[in-house]
Structure 1
Amino acid sequence: MLKKALIVTLFFTGVAFSQTEEEQTKILLAEYVIQLDRTVRLNMDLTESINAIVTELQAIENPSEELIAILKKYYIYNKPYTKEAYHKAIGEMQLSTWDGITRAREKTHAFWLNFPSRFMQGVKNVNVSGEYIMNSKNVSHGYLIKGGEDCKYVQYMLVPSNKNCYDHTVWGANNELSYENSVCGLGTYLLKFCFDCWPDVKNLEYSMLCKSSSDLFGCVGLRKKQYCILNKQYSESQYKELVSQIKKHMNEKPYIDTGGREYRYGEFFPIELSPYGYNNTMAQEHFPLTKEKAVSEGYGWVAVEGGKYNITVRAGDLPEIRDSASAKVVEEIIECMECKKPYRIIPQEYAFLESEKMPLPRKCVDCRHTERIAQRNEVQLHHRQCMCAGEQSEKDVYQNTDKHFHGADHCPNEFETSYGANQATIVYCEQCYQTEVV
């Protein structure tokens, strides 16, 4: 079973372990499983595989002290319990109720602040800065990147490989020489100022929704085409000559938007041409703006008018799901306790909550989404110094468990991190963090 689970895990993660002594291999595997669980979002197959691995490890007879330390059981906030006491304490938390799970969430988040966090989330990287970066090299200011190399100002490129990219947002997958593109990938090469062009596209500029094409300029929706400008076919020589003339004209006669902003060759499409409102995009999640600020900077803003509904119950008056009357909640129009907008709980959602013994949500789906993404580390980076002050963290919040390379002096290491100075998180550099957790 362990071998099968290991094969599945390595298949999904692309990691290979060398053949070592059986016990050492199990220790390495356990450490890897724990690290993996902390740093990546797992799909269902991989989660089941890891659960199988942990089950096998826990069943080992006469495990070493090192393995025992990794696979602790029945702990709550780092305090050991017997099996019976553990289940009793969990029951007393009333995690199936809204108040209970809210208290537990707040206590857990506060508890986490007592321990140092690594300055960035990432594994198997060389010379990178940013957040949530994996298997990458020479990546600067990256966010949610996998398999990146020689890239800067890139985000949401989670499908490798991505090489020599600058200002690229979303996707990837055999993506090379990309400059100021969005949602392009799956075999892309030398794209500039493009949107949603894939797969197998090469040497495209200012194009959208084009597929399996090359040498396009200002085209939309073309398939298997070459040497086209504004969707019109040209010979190779005509194409090159006209493109050169167009670029010159774009610099001599720039596009000027309603706010007086000039756009010459080398800039992405003018923001006022976007069909989306700023408040309806991921930009608002990462860089929130008020309507007034967004409009003043040239972005659109789309007023979202929901339907008119008669509220039948306020979120604060919802019953707990263990109450037999709670099943009728699927018939209610509920007022969100946060934004006061109406929302519903559909039968499928209720059935899931009931099976998992989870409380009915008191907030609408939009507010819940906002809370979830707020738990991610931010895109913005801050220049910080390691908060290890010698034998303890700054302000004596955390006491180190081992000697660090800098002795009793403050750690001199500096780095770029998504944790701002105004946050309560204890931020350690790689060396200090590894000393504490490995």
Structure 2
Amino acid sequence: MFDLIVLVLFLVILYFTIGWLISLNIKVFSYLDFYWSTSFLVVITSLLLYRPELLESFQAILLCLLYAFWSMRLSTHLFQRIRKTGEDSRYLTLKKKWKIMYGVYLYGLFIGEAVLTVILSIPLFLLSIESLTLFNFLGSTLFTIALIGEMIADRQLKSFISSKNNKGKVCDIGLWKYSRHPNYFFETLIWLSYGVYGLDMERPITFIGFIPYIIMLYLITSVTGVPAAEESSLKSKGEVYRDYQKRTNRFLIWFPKKIIKHILIICLIGGVSVKELKATGLDSQNLQAQRIEKVFNELRADNIEILNNFYDKQALFIDPIGEHKGLDAVKDYYQGIYQGVEDIRFEFSDIVSNGNHHVAVWRMILVTPNLNSGKPVILYGNSVIKFNESGLVSYHRDYFDMGEFIYEHIPLLGSLIRYIKNRLKGPQ
């Protein structure tokens, strides 16, 4: 095996040297990424020529095909991107840094990539002529899932960016709602699949087939992929991306941050068991909408304390009557207006939600001796409500007609307001 590895290393270095000479001639070093992705085809070709018996093993051919398919898909994408955009900013920075010697130093980078290719090909070097195993099946299945996931993530991002309406916005749809870098996440799973594919419990050496996964996981999450993408997004989108960082996982595909906290809050104010919540399968957005309906309809003068689990301590509440800053001020306001209320009910015709932002359209039926001689008062309005990352309301604004709510039910003044409204409507 040692002779094979030395031979492959020599051929891969030769391939990268040719690539470096071409890049030096056209002065575009972004093609290094293209040469790296295609260099695995050199490894596969060399391996099959050196060990022709592998051509008779479906197990060996399948792993070679998995490597080759990944290589061709990535290299095609990279080649098209480089042809379109030219030199990458990373290499422009290196050129400025290394000045006249940049060609020599970049050759060292090319050689480093050649060595990396050989190391990442370890599962190929471990191939044996055996029949298919359970690990072969698991590995190929994981590869398929990862590849499809990466393709979906790429397509969702491309579709989002292509829309003019999304200029300056952050892609937080589909898989991007659950991870800031779902494409990179699935990319690492591809390397994990190679290790799983070659695993053989009777050959402990096959465990080193996971080395490529460990290396790529580190490089993607800590060196080249995620850090560079985060830095670029922060520069181009600023606070919009910082807000996205707060609510979305960095790498792993999982529920949005704070969802567990949201669920616990719902349990506290609604008496709903965690088991029941799991059964609903609702996301945090729907849970927030349910909380709005629940608090609106359950709040009374004698249970104002339920607002402790609904509003943030620094919450801002605004309605046509006034503005109230802070939880205590909001509670005092509700305590005052709910005094004497015999019954109040909110019927929600719609709640439009976008992440933690909600617009609720409602009809309120109020019974109080202080208005309309104790007869039901019907008021139409809507509320704009924003939740913070702690799952509490930080902003709440109600919109409704004060005349319809109060003034029209005051003797004489009410008649005057109704007369003015009818006059403004014009002839029917």
TM-score of the superposition, structure 1-length normalised? 0.19
TM-score of the superposition, structure 2-length normalised? 0.19
Q: As a proportion of its length, which structure holds more helix?
A: 2
Q: As a proportion of its length, which structure holds more strand?
A: 1
